Amino acid sequence: MKLATGGTGKAAMGFILLLALLDAVSMGLIYPILPQLVIDLSGGDTPHASRIFGLLAAAWAVMNFVAAPILGTLSDRFGRRPVILISAFGLAIDLVIMALAQNLAWLFIGRLLSGVTAASYATISAYLADVTPPEQRARRFGLLSGIFGIGLILGPAAGGLLAEISLRAPFWVAAVLTAFGWLYGLLVLPESLPAERRARLSWHAANPVKSFGVLTRYEGLSGLSAMAMLVQLAAQAVNTLFMLYTAHRYGWTPVQVGLLLMVYSAGTIVMVAALSPFLVSRFRERKVVLGGLLCLVVGFLGLAVAPTGFWFAAACAVICLGNVATPPLQALLTHKVGADEQGRLQGALSALMALTGMVGPILFTQIFAWSISGNAVPAMSGIALAVGAFMAALAWLLALKVARSPKAEKMPSAEDAAATAAGMMPS
Checking if the pLDDT of 398 tops 90, the result is yes
Q: What is the mean pLDDT of the chain?
A: 80
Task: Domain 7-190: give its CATH superfamily.
Answer: MFS general substrate transporter like domains (1.20.1250.20)
Count Cα atoms within 13 angstroms, Cβ side, for 304: 22
Q: DSSP assignment of 343-408, as one string?
A: HHHHHHHHHHHHHHHHHHHHHHHHHHHHHHSTT--GGGGGHHHHHHHHHHHHHHHHHHHH----TT
pLDDT digits over 199-246, tens only? 666 565 556 666 677 677 777 788 888 898 999 899 999 888 998 899
* Spatial CA neighbour of 354 closest among 65, 60, 53: 65
| Per-domain residue ranges of the chain | 7-190, 212-427
The residues that bridge with 5 in the sheet, in sequence order, are: 191
Range 176-204 average pLDDT: 76
Distance in angstroms (rounded) separating the CA atoms of residues 198 and 191? 12
Instruction: Out of 1-5, 29-33, 165-169, give the one with best mean pLDDT.
Output: 165-169
pLDDT digits over 251-273, tens only? 998 888 888 888 888 888 888 77
Cβ neighbours, 10 Å, residue 82:
13
Contacts of 305 (CB under 8 A, 6+ apart): 379, 382, 386
Topology (CATH) of 212-427: Growth Hormone; Chain: A; (1.20.1250)
More confident residue, 374 or 221: 221
Contacts of 268 (CB under 8 A, 6+ apart): 320, 323, 421, 424, 425
Question: Comparing 7-190 with 212-427, is the CATH topology the same?
Answer: yes
* DSSP 8-state assignment for residue 217: S
Distance in angstroms (rounded) separating the CA atoms of residues 179 and 7? 22
- Cα 134 to its chain centre, rounded Å, is 26
Amino acid, single-letter form, for residue 255: V
Contacts of 80 (CB under 8 A, 6+ apart): 123, 126, 127, 130, 191, 192, 193
* DSSP 8-state assignment for residue 5: B
Range 156-178 average pLDDT: 87
